[in-house]
Structure 1
Amino acid sequence: MSNLPALKQDIAKMGGEFGKALPGHITADKFVRTTQTAIALTRNIDKVRNPQSLLAACSKAASDGLILDGREAALVIDNNGDVQYRPMMRGLLKLAYNSGALKSLVVEAVRENDLFDYQPTRSAEPIIHKIDLKSARGEVYAVYALAMFKDGGIVHEVMTVEDVNRIRDRSDAWRAHKAGKIKSTPWATDWSEMARKTVFRRLSKYLPASSDRDDRLAQAAERIDEDYTFEIDAEPANGNAQAQVQPAAKKRGGAAAALKDVTPPKQEPAKGKAQSKPQPAQDDDPPDYDPETGEIIEYDGPDQRPGDDI
């Protein structure tokens, strides 16, 4: 970890800039100290090739108002040696409660042996979920998010495992993991966490904004999984090197976009060969979805935007 002291020093130098983005209840000094501890504990921190990506990741966390303590948010090193920022479920729930309008908020997985009664037309109590912790609960078959407001209103979202996996299957990181080209992705190691974040993202569109800054909740909830699920390549079983999978180009601007140009170079056609006809861009997303975590999904089923991965 020869570059660890230098990375910590870079973080300290950025304290003033972080302070400008942080909400009032988080001091720049606290954010810097927590982040310095976080990078020391981050797996593969010695493989960081681009220190600017660390500063960009930390700037995102500060802008969202989340501490990089592994509970509210965390850092991940991708297969290119860049640092990526991952908002966690606890951090998203904190931002939701910051509005002061919520009485309760539940984001939970439903298992085969739970008692689960879902009636969307029963407006006063659309979901009844009882868990018997004395017996095996069985496999997950659905996830849901339900928020009750202090004024008596209720909003909820329910997704089946199939609904969640349709979103997972659009993830470049998941496809790369299935192909054996990257070592891990949260969709493989922490499916329940990713599923809960997925259904929460749908719900968060209907939640009031954080009181300290209007866009913090939506901003954090829109962080797409391509921004943080690529990790160091796995070693192939036969010892042969595998090609690295490049992350998809970011769909939004911002610090990360300014730090690294991921546009592939234009290929000139070989002499004497006809150039293939350009193909139209594929965009099966609903035209009124505002794409990383920035509005939450409005559409269910296979017509969701590919960028709606958590």
Structure 2
Amino acid sequence: MTGQTIGNAVAVRDNGPGALVAQHRADLELVMPSHLQKRVGAWIRTTQGLLRRDEKLLEAAQNDPGQFMSVLLDAARLGLEPGTEQYHLVPRWNRKKRCTEITGVRGYQGEIELMYRAGAVSSVIVEVAREKDQFEYEPGIDERPRHKVDWDLDLEQRGGLRLVYAYAVMKDGATSKVVVLNRGHIAKARAKSDSANGKYPERSPWATDEEAMWLKTAAHRLTKWVPTSAEYIREQLRAKADVNAERQPAPLPTGPLPQPFDSSEPDDEDDAIDAEFVDDEGEVRS
């Protein structure tokens, strides 16, 4: 370990961004989904490890600790792991501040995780089609794309990236809307990316893993048509609350309760009803 690396590790541990993450453990845990709260310690240590291994990432976090924590809180709220295919941490050049800062980029596995966590889908399919692959899909006619791959070919022989598609199979067996994007669609998405067009484009996931970003773009488009965890759970809870409200018994009346009827008291004569009685002989008497 070099002297500079040791210095960075000490900064992370004692008073740097790594220590800041540990100090805000309660805040991170508060916004995390319940399944992630059980391993918040490991989540924090993973984030600290990223800072120790990446000097540019550490520098960007030190330049604006508030922005750094904002990004981590976003990842925690979504229940995603920073520094993985779920959620990328990337240095971004801020022109106004004239320095780098941390930005968060949701990965394709993160998009898929949110769809699964919602509970409405049984499977999510996100795939790229390369130049030598066979791909057919006619909207309104085909329920799902037909994608054939010659698995005897290696990746280079299959050719470059041509298309990316995504769809979900819902719990009831229905197929969601199918998203199909070509190179033109991907180019437009990349042009809008801060990480791909910043001071360090080589650090962007668009440069380090282009195929993953194709997959992410398609998965993100699919979230417009498939429930993600936050919106779906809110709707489910709201519907459940409405059903429970309908099932609640009617409220008890307020004020004094009516007095019970006492059969020992004689009826009011004014309430008597004139009637004819028939005796055993069949004669009528009043």
Counterparts in 2 of 1:162-173, with a 5 A limit?
Answer: 162-171=184-193, 173=195
1:149 has 2:170 as partner: yes
Counterparts in 2 of 1:44-193, with a 5 A limit?
Answer: 44-48=56-60, 49-79=63-93, 80-123=99-142, 125-135=143-153, 136-155=157-176, 156-171=178-193, 173-175=195-197, 182-184=200-202, 185-193=204-212
2:26 to 16, 21, 25: 16
Contact 1:3 1:46 (8 Å CA) reproduced: no
Q: What secondary structure sits across from 2:81 in the alignment?
A: coil
Q: What is the root-mean-square deviation in Å for CA atoms of aligned residues?
A: 2.2
Identity %: 28
Aligned twin of 2:52: 40
Distance (Å, rounded) in 2 between the aligned partners of 1:132 and 1:34:
39
- Aligned partner letter, 1:74: H
Contact 1:42 1:75 (8 Å CA) reproduced: no
Following TM superposition, by how much is the alpha carbon of 1:69 offset from its aligned partner in structure 2, in angstroms?
4.4
Equivalenced residue count is 209
Distance (Å, rounded) in 2 between the aligned partners of 1:172 and 1:32:
26
1:224-263 Cα offsets, whole Å, 9 max, x none, are xxxxxxxxxxxxxxxxxxxxxxxxxxxxxxxxxxxxxxxx
Distance (Å, rounded) in 2 between the aligned partners of 1:97 and 1:126:
19
Distance (Å, rounded) in 1 between the aligned partners of 2:64 and 2:194:
22
Distance (Å, rounded) in 2 between the aligned partners of 1:24 and 1:104:
22
Distance (Å, rounded) in 2 between the aligned partners of 1:153 and 1:114:
26
- Aligned partner letter, 1:68: P
Following TM superposition, by how much is the alpha carbon of 1:172 offset from its aligned partner in structure 2, in angstroms?
5.1
Q: 1:158 to 1:25 in 2, by over 3 A?
A: same
Q: What secondary structure sits across from 1:82 in the alignment?
A: strand
Contact 2:109 2:216 (8 Å CA) reproduced: no
Q: What secondary structure sits across from 1:98 in the alignment?
A: helix
Following TM superposition, by how much is the alpha carbon of 1:116 offset from its aligned partner in structure 2, in angstroms?
1.0
Contact 1:159 1:199 (8 Å CA) reproduced: yes
- Unaligned runs of 5+ residues in structure 2 are 1-7, 94-98, 234-286
* Structure with more relative contact order (C-alpha pairs < 8 Å, separation 6 or more): 1
Following TM superposition, by how much is the alpha carbon of 1:77 offset from its aligned partner in structure 2, in angstroms?
2.1
Distance (Å, rounded) in 2 between the aligned partners of 1:91 and 1:172:
19
Q: Considering only CA atoms, is the larger Rg found in Structure 1 or Structure 2?
A: 2
Distance (Å, rounded) in 2 between the aligned partners of 1:215 and 1:66:
17
Q: What secondary structure sits across from 2:140 in the alignment?
A: coil
Considering fraction of residues, name the structure with more helix. Answer: 2
- Aligned partner letter, 1:163: H
Contact 2:12 2:48 (8 Å CA) reproduced: no
